[in-house]
Structure 1
């Protein structure tokens, strides 16, 4: 396998775990000698998603998506999201007999239900049909794999994540030195599904800092004037904020992994989170974070965790290992497709028996 086409509705200028994961994946695959192409909303006219203007929805038709897939001429097609582009790419691939894999990044049924009264079972039924139509669905954690398998998802493949150890690192910084200690921080998209208000409601000493942008930013900034909202940060500025925090508080109940936890740990900052999917898989059994239904108590206990211990733990996760795992999954998907083609049909079996 020498080339891969990745179709994704989530792309720049969005700043989130899906986009960062795909960017790091591509970097590593290219370093391994593969050619990587992306099909994103940048290729088409798009409109902002209602209630979430940062997300762009592509305006296109299947024939255009088919043309782009054919022009890419890649050995493998991976569909990363279930938006307009992903759905059309899946439809084209099935019709044209193209082997493809998908990945399950986001608990979209729960996200949607938090915004509009759509039963999660309805959305899962739709997602199940989409993901089961491919040769494999990549998931980040054992907990997510078990959850989706119980819901009828098939051909599940493990694809973990990594962290850039050179960028995200402990550092001496005067960032946020003006704030009372200890500093409790959350980094990520400021949106309803991230449950950031649960963090802001905690009775904690020192300061609370929220780094990131999103549709709920102004609402929370107005409701919690004592908290510090920095807006989005990137690069060295983001690293300086992670490194300045005493505890990283991750209140999400719906994330499938939580790349930001690894970024915080790589900077030496311990984590406090609920014992749910994502935190359980990343932190469970380790001593670099505290998981508890009492998030306030978890945040306070995490203050005692040594920072060098956090850094050492994060070094176990690399983007190279993540990319190698992704590539093995793609190759396995093609082998599965070939084996299915070699299997005799029921009609052939009947003729042979006769």
Structure 2
């Protein structure tokens, strides 16, 4: 089979095409024919050596995709050859509360991932797709969409009329916008690009704020929306103080990423966490059970992901470079089969 491996982890140039033997399933495993995959920021970090410890140079990257069952190992039930499936990259986190043990089997990180013609996955982690959900709808669900679902629905407990604040217009934020609107919530979103904010408005954003021209975007969220009930904190330490300011009383701030870097100082508004009775919770993607609920919601509501650009399998290095350029809104997709 054709595949890519991550190489020396010194940059995008390390991504190397290779040919491997066809995969064979072990007990409880299935082999998937990879149909489509989507890239995430952690995929960049893997190639650049900035995502966790150094990995074997022959590791196949990418944690998110949609596949078709092509071989089934002993003991597998509930799946058949030809079924289309998705699965979380923490394949041992099936349901219930998160445990750090989930990091022990992280597809594309500790084990070979989706950037190949075949991928081997434990059958118990997989969610079968209904016919009404297309490959393009399914390919981005298991990482950024699952993170957004976990934040908005599972932690945020979104209700109709709530205000959800998403920082930026990356994959998680755009999915958060779509999921929040699916639940009848209002959405505020930030970006440094008026063009990206216009696209967010076309997807249903109620408040769109350019944080370069409006540096105190927290005050603007409060002025226009009365404060956010749920905040998806993708910026990290350097934006957390503003997220606290932007929150309404009893708000839930879900800490997801660190794209904006470190803070120059500690939280000057630390007391607001107590004064507003805020909940701050970090999350790591989501479980197989959460993904199953997300797939069900996508099927019921016909949610279509925002795909910024599509690449062929042979164009995978160009897809990584395009993601790194940060000019995208939504997802970068690679068609494999």
What's the TM-score once normalised by structure 2's chain length?
A: 0.28
Higher RCO by CA contacts (8 Å cutoff, separation 6 or greater) = 2
What's the TM-score once normalised by structure 1's chain length?
A: 0.27
